[in-house]
Structure 1
Amino acid sequence: MALTHLVTGAGSGIGASVARALAARGDALWLLARNDERAADLRADFPTARVVTADLADPEALAGQLGQLPQRLDTLLHVAGAVDLGTVAEQPIAQVRRQVDVNLLAPMELTRLCLPALRAARGLVLVVNSTSGITANPDWSAYAASKFGARAFTDALRAEEAAHGVRVTSVHPSRTATPMQAEVHRQEGRDYDPDRFIAPDTVAATILHVIDLPRDGTITEVTVRPGPR
């Protein structure tokens, strides 16, 4: 039976890999786009999907931007993210706020809005976190703080929604070959070689495994690191 999924971050990287895999097997997709230009690109790439323009950098506006949501939702996949490196001493508050808004507050608000549909389907909330949500390194304080917060959010949500049959999973990939990773390397002032990192399709395969796990089990948290070279 075809499932219904709402996916953020489907325009590139891990989100695009997940959306392609789900579309290929005939599942129904609702995709969030941050602006009209990105929405047009998503409609071209996923012609059968329902594309909604909603800016995750403005969590307070999400309720008004989303409009009518599906009545049943099998999975809510939080894949979109934002990163700006900088030391605590030097990073402006606007950059900190953007990362917290996109990586933590928007997933919390979007989940709240989708909970009736998730409960109706006894669905799954999956947050693509990061190994930065497990260990914080220099220059990553704002990003790591947002990801540590997202991990706490999934832990609390899991306990709250168990009675409604909603499963919650946190996926923590290490560095993955995505446009975001290329931007991180630019910020770090280093050359970017995608062959050194996990392929987005590998993380997507992990996510699909979580989605398809029989209901008698649940994967609460999984870390994906590079294999031996």
Structure 2
Amino acid sequence: MLAMTRYYLALLGHSQRYLPAILAYLALNTVLYTDPKSPLLPQYGISAGSLLVVSCWLTIAMLDIEDPVQRLITFSHARRRRSVLGGATLAVFGCAVVLTLVTLAWSGIRSGGFPIGTLAIGAATHLVCTLFGIAIGLPCSRLLIPRVGWSVLAAIFALAAVLLVKWLPLANPLLRALTSQQPPGGPLAVAVVAAIAGLLVSVTVVGHLLRRNA
């Protein structure tokens, strides 16, 4: 699986498809974390929601680089589809960890301090949103949806549901709690469970459909 992770990171880096999303995310952080007097948790809610979209973009962009013939070769060398999906997941998650560290460091520098509790909540929120983004990106990629237009529409609707629908116990309750400065403990715990379960379901379903369509 680590070999597949390195392969996908090299593939993504060589293609430079990561640039639009990551540059937009960094630009947002530059604008967002400007006022040292602003509370950090509401800002973390905004940047974490943005990272959810970025991780979904990176997942789709990375998996869409290979054409069908190249993908068959990759599956053949990996021998197990689970290794391919796991490698892709770890590659995007690694990119998100780096972006999260950049966000936390920049926010701490701009606010003039590094409160451990606040940073821990911010880190957990960003990584949970990353898992949601990967879970959406896997089935919306070319692995299951061959046409780009349908892939984009599916990703948009799924992102809208996760980010905007209040009654779904996914990312929205957690991000609303942060932006409204409510206690985030409960929503964060629910979001962690939902994100892990969602990613496992996504990987399992995509792997099953790939095996059935092979």
TM (norm. structure 2) is 0.40
User: Which of the pair is proportionally richer in strand?
Assistant: 1
Higher helix share: 2
Which structure exhibits the higher relative contact order, with contacts defined as CA atoms closer than 8 Å and separated by 6 or more residues? 2
